[in-house]
Amino acid sequence: MSRVLIIGAGGVSSVTVKKCARLPEMFDEIYLASRTLSKCEALQKEVGADRLKGVFTVDADNADAVAELINKVKPDLVVNLALPYQDLPIMDACLATKTDYLDTANYEPKDEAKFEYSWQWAYQQKFQDAGIMALLGSGFDPGVTNVYTAYAAKHYFDEIHYLDIVDCNGGDHGQAFATNFNPEINIREITQRGRFWENGEWKETEPLTVREDLDYQNIGVRASYLMFHEELESLVKHFPTLKRARFWMTFGDAYLNHLKVLEGIGMTSIAPIDFQGQQIVPLEFLKAVLPNPGSLAEGYTGKTCIGTYITGIKDGKEKTIFIYNNCDHAVCYDEVGAQAVSYTTGVPAMIGAALMLNKTWNKPGVWNMEQFDPDPFMAMLNDHGLPWHVIECESSPFAK
């Protein structure tokens, strides 16, 4: 008997809820809580009250309120699909109630766009002492990309040296400017300075200034920009043989031009301003006027290609492999009414939850995805809509 409480009822959550609902043998009872009850009720109507047994409103910024809800529902696992700001209060509530925890994005303070695991890693001892487990970053990137890296290290190399994670959205949603997941979180992430790991230290670049034109499977050549992404931090820690680790994301010219203008006029700022006698945060206002990422799903065409290039040594010889998934927006829409970015995050959250509930991944403490055996996760990706492929490359596609 397993009981899961999912917090957050946005784009990613709707995919996770629907995927969990279809697997009664893994998820006996599903409960959903979020800030806006009507969104939870709408999902319950879609999947049925027999599978989504209860819906609640909760302010997940308030650890006591979350603990009270956990005490009422008594889940075996809390799946946090709210926003990164809520990671610590929800972890505190899990500690108070001795309940396992999973999320898809690392904690970020609301008043500072700072992406690092230090705050959540600081819970390691407390989670171990309480005999509970936290699985951090069980989305696609972070998440699947960490597992791809662990899988490559386990099956293809004696030692891994160079890591390049690439994230391409080759889709077209027909909007002038929109983000594919929560706009506030997304814009905070892409407007920060670029950062990558090389020869034992972090190196910084101006935001979105380092570009490579990469050829993506079943999509074609796309301009790809170096940026920091949170899984780099845990991967260089857990694979100390890495000499370099970078992350690349594709952006079209129209997207970058919009972003440049919005930044130039201060609309992406997170510093509050006075507006008609009220304090508002420009980026929060921008989020309110941009399309809801969920609304992009209908009519979205094209595919994503997210993967991991890894170069390392096997039997004394250098080689490079690419592990990747293609995900088709329209196919996701037909299956669960979502676009591929929500789908590629929501499915790994379900898989991580399933592996925790059935104790395949089971260790008290706070862990990143690459710290577990990748094989069962990789097998479930193939079974649940995110099949992957491995290509042995003749050489790395990146300029050395």
The least distance separating ligand NDP from the CB of residue 68, rounded to whole angstroms, comes to: 13
Please tell me what DSSP assigns to residue 359: T
The least distance separating ligand NDP from the CB of residue 356, rounded to whole angstroms, comes to: 16
H or E stretch at 265: none
The least distance separating ligand NDP from the CB of residue 169, rounded to whole angstroms, comes to: 11
Query: Which residue in the block uniquely carries the two structure tokens 């506030």?
Result: 184
Q: Characterize 123-158 residue by residue with b for buried, 16 or more Cβ atoms within 10 angstroms of its Cβ, and e for exposed.
A: beeebeebebbbbbbbbbbbbbbbbbbbbbbeebbe
* Alpha-carbon dihedral sign for residues 6, 8, 12, 13: positive
Q: Quote the CA–CA distance of 154 and 140 in Å, as a whole number.
A: 19
Binding site for ligand NDP (CB under 6 A): 8-13, 34-36, 39, 58-61, 81-84, 86, 104-105, 137, 139-143, 181-182, 185, 293, 345
Q: Which is nearer to ligand NDP, 43 or 312 (CB)?
A: 43
Per DSSP, the three-state class of 30 is strand
Closest alpha carbon to 153 in 376, 305, 390, 314: 314
Q: Which is nearer to ligand NDP, 219 or 249 (CB)?
A: 249
Q: Which two tokens stand for residue 101?
A: 């925890």
Write out the DSSP string of 269-293: --S-EEETTEEE-HHHHHHHHSPPG
Q: Quote the CA–CA distance of 172 and 115 in Å, as a whole number.
A: 28
**Do 143 and 352 form a contact (C-beta atoms < 8 A)?**
yes
> What one-letter code names the amino acid at 151?
Y
> Cβ-closest residue to ligand NDP?
10
The least distance separating ligand NDP from the CB of residue 81, rounded to whole angstroms, comes to: 5
Q: Which is nearer to ligand NDP, 35 or 222 (CB)?
A: 35
Q: Which is nearer to ligand NDP, 75 or 84 (CB)?
A: 84
Q: Quote the CA–CA distance of 148 and 140 in Å, as a whole number.
A: 10
**Do 207 and 113 form a contact (C-beta atoms < 8 A)?**
no
The least distance separating ligand NDP from the CB of residue 131, rounded to whole angstroms, comes to: 26
Q: Which is nearer to ligand NDP, 146 or 320 (CB)?
A: 146
Q: Which is nearer to ligand NDP, 189 or 328 (CB)?
A: 189
Q: Which is nearer to ligand NDP, 231 or 328 (CB)?
A: 231
How far does Cα 254 stand from its chain's mean position? 25
